[in-house]
Amino acid sequence: MMTRTGLVVCAVVAAASLVSVATTACGGSDDGSGFSSGGTSGGTSGTSGGASGTSGSILGSTGGTSGTDSGQKVDECKKMDIIFTVDDSGSMSQEQANLAANFPKFVKVINDYKTKGGEQLDYRLAVTSTDTDKEKGAFNATKAAGAPGGCTAGPARPWLERADGDVAGAFGCRAQYGTKGSNIERPLESTLLGVTARIADGTNTANGASFLREDALLAFVIITDEDEGGTENEPARAVTEYPKELDKVKGERGRWASAVIAGEKACSSPGLGQAAEAKRLKGFITDVGKNGVFSSICTGDLTDGLTQALAKFDQACREFPSGPVK
């Protein structure tokens, strides 16, 4: 948990500004470098575990079936199961508020997405916290403690879908956890628990159906100002184990993607306060390879970070392995 001062506007918001021109909501300017054009811009704040560039529009389909370097056939995915793992420790209230405020832009992007066949993207959106003592990876389906009065969290289901109506509003109501979570942030452990133990015990299921779908890309965004386990504590398991465990969940590396928005180094920025260097989370993204991207939470404007996250998911979707899970 890092102490923050002032406004943390675009940090997590970035995750929300999935649209383009909407950088003004984060105090940025529409210079054409936001979400309007495709691919990773190659900005200084983002690093990728592997191939970093993509072409085409953000979450826009280029279509076609091709092959990977290993010769495996790939085809565009038509479904995404998306998780936001949000730090709910004492320094994160403004990021949560901005995520909620900017999420309509994110929803617009995925709502406007068209597959190569002209179909709409079939998506699921879920949110959990970094607190593995309390939530333990459970997706929130109710109004969160820090959400404004009068908001509606949508259906009781642990995730949101296109047909749920005001997806952006419901997500904002679920995502503003408040700041009373554990100061031992464990976003990787929480995410893993969310797609393993919490599905096994029925928490992250609805009417017997799992949140995870075999033919969907699993994509998750981690937003935190700390490292895995915090700088003062240890992670729940060796960080090198997480990519392997997620491979087991989805069957192979090409079926999941990850974006981390955290401290590239120990830093302080105007309006964003302080963040610890997320060494373990950076190592995780390196291990993930081409389907992972790391962006700094201390740039002062994280529009670039979320642009890169979305571009990475788009790339992973377009290179989704065809055929049954291995």
pLDDT digit string, tens, across residues 302-325:
567 777 888 899 899 989 998 777
Give the model's pLDDT for residue 96.
65
What are the strands, taking DSSP E only, across the chain?
Answer: 46-48, 66-67, 73-74, 79-86, 122-129, 160-161, 205-206, 209-210, 217-223, 256-262, 267-269, 273-275, 292-296
Name which of 326, 251, 323, 243 is nearest 290 in CA terms. 243
Say yes or no to pLDDT of 51 above 80.
no
Q: What pTM was estimated for this model as a whole?
A: 0.81
Interval 232-263: pLDDT, tens:
789 999 999 999 999 999 999 999 999 998 88
**Does residue 84 or residue 68 have the better pLDDT?**
84
User: What confidence score (pLDDT) does residue 245 get?
Assistant: 98
pLDDT of 31 strictly over 80: no
Residue 18 structure tokens: 């999935």
Confidence of residue 273 (pLDDT cuts 50, 70, 90): low
Tell me the per-residue pLDDT of 146-202, one tens digit each, with 9 for 90 and over.
888 999 999 999 999 999 999 989 988 998 888 888 889 999 999 999 999 999 999
| List of domains in the chain | 10-60+74-318 (3.40.50.410)
C-alpha torsion sign, points 151, 154, 157, 163: negative
